[in-house]
Amino acid sequence: MRRVAILGIGQTKIDEHWDKSLREIGGEAAFAALQDAGLEKVDSLFVGNMLSPLVSGQNQLGTFFADWVGLWHQEAVKIEAACGSGAAAFRAGLMAVASGEIDSALVVGVEKMTDKAGHDVTAALATAADSDYEVEQGVSFVGINALVMRRYMHEYGWKHGDFAPFSINAHANAMHNPVARLHQKITLDQFEKSSMVATPINLLDASPIGDGAAAAVLVPADRVASMPGRPKIMVAASASATDTIAVHSRRDPLFLSAAYQSSRRAYEMADVTPDDIDVFELHDAFSIMSALSLEASGFAERGQGPRLGLDNEISPKGRVPVCTRGGLKARGHPVGATGMYQIVEVVQQLRGECGATQVEGARIGMAQNIGGSGATILTHILKSG
């Protein structure tokens, strides 16, 4: 298979875009990525999306966006893996270019969530869980994560406040990301006193939904080899793994085995170890997920994820910088788009475009996108140069 490079990236501000339709939001990111790549056309379009049938009454988003951005007659398809849809679409585009089947791919992760009332969105998000054996019992998606977090605190003896650094770091970093959903620093005191959502998860443990889209253009690596200017960004590894869809079916509900599997394969493919990763855009849908991702991906011992935050290792100047552009917690979590925001952010880090939250000398970055409560996990490693 051919090596593949990321030639262009684009993203929209994550917000409640009541004045913009689904196609406008996705189109904005798509055009930005094409412009950044200096291309007008690509061979194929891969769209990551989770909720458009439920929220916008629109299926067939591949063709829908190919039509909107002027890729008439080109191949187009939609990929869905719940909140992991963005990275799953990226992987599909990557494989198509790597295989030689096509010579360029545009990948767009897009989600419009705020056109519906909150309870409708909560119901829509629950479709990521097991409809027969989880949702049917009345548990919501945040409820499932709350059960995991409570069990984790019980098992390893952490207090709720021990998770605060994850959210404080995310909010601090988002202050410097113009497209982030939330621009407000938070303190430990605010974190502890925030409104409860599903005990022990409160509002500052949970990522906000939003409307947004992020995109990237993929081409064979040899096409960028001779280009002057910006650092070349190569896709060094891509891996996807699954776990049981219901959390209660897992041997150990506190271990993200799909993160372990996909990150291990990715390290092998990129020929690196966790120590080599300069920046890690992880999937902090809830603060507990930050801890579990760090552990399963080899950055912390089992049950010791929160320690990295408490030891101040996760800031852009730390040993394991995470959520450098705000993460899901403060950049926002437009579910099917999130995986593509992570890819875009790693590219920005490797290009050195992150200003106040730039990780100095970042050369190797990792993005990990999670669908469901750890059910589908994709890990991508990018390298500059």
**For binding to a second copy (CB under 8 A), which residues are involved?**
1, 21, 23, 50-51, 53-54, 56-64, 66-67, 71-82, 84, 88, 91-92, 95-96, 98-101, 123-124, 126-128, 130-132, 135, 240-246, 249, 257-258, 261, 371-372, 375-376
Among candidate residues 209, 223, 226, the one with its CA nearest the CA of residue 334? 209
Facing residues of 216 across strands?
A: 9, 107
The yes-or-no answer on residue 354 being catalytic is no
Between 114 and 127, CB nearer to a second copy: 127
Spatial distance between the Cα atoms of 188 and 165, rounded to a whole number of angstroms: 8
- Residues 6 or more apart in contact with residue 117 via CB below 8 angstroms: none
Spatial distance between the Cα atoms of 165 and 207, rounded to a whole number of angstroms: 14
Residue 327: how many CB atoms within 10 A of its CB? 32
The yes-or-no answer on residue 83 being catalytic is yes
Among candidate residues 338, 354, 293, the one with its CA nearest the CA of residue 320? 293
Between 84 and 212, CB nearer to a second copy: 84
Residue 101 beta carbon to a second copy: minimum distance, rounded to whole angstroms: 6
Residue 380 beta carbon to a second copy: minimum distance, rounded to whole angstroms: 13
To 10 degrees, the CA torsion angle through 65, 28, 14, 180? 140
Between 61 and 330, CB nearer to a second copy: 61
Are 45 and 65 a contacting pair, CB within 8 Å? yes
Residue 192 beta carbon to a second copy: minimum distance, rounded to whole angstroms: 33
Residue 368 beta carbon to a second copy: minimum distance, rounded to whole angstroms: 15
Residue 165 beta carbon to a second copy: minimum distance, rounded to whole angstroms: 30
Between 82 and 182, CB nearer to a second copy: 82
Q: Which residue has the tokens 């974190």?
A: 191
Q: Is 281 helix (H, G, I), strand (E, B) or coil?
A: strand
Among candidate residues 202, 219, 20, the one with its CA nearest the CA of residue 113? 20
Dig out the tokens for 50 from the structure.
């989770």
Among candidate residues 218, 214, 198, the one with its CA nearest the CA of residue 206? 198
| One-character DSSP codes across 93-106 | HHHHHHTTS-S-EE
Are 327 and 281 a contacting pair, CB within 8 Å? yes
Catalytic residue among 17, 83, 283, 354: 83
Catalytic residue among 17, 283, 333, 380: 333
Residue 80 beta carbon to a second copy: minimum distance, rounded to whole angstroms: 5
**First CA to last CA across the chain, in angstroms?**
19
Between 45 and 330, CB nearer to a second copy: 45
User: Catalytic positions, please?
Assistant: 83, 333
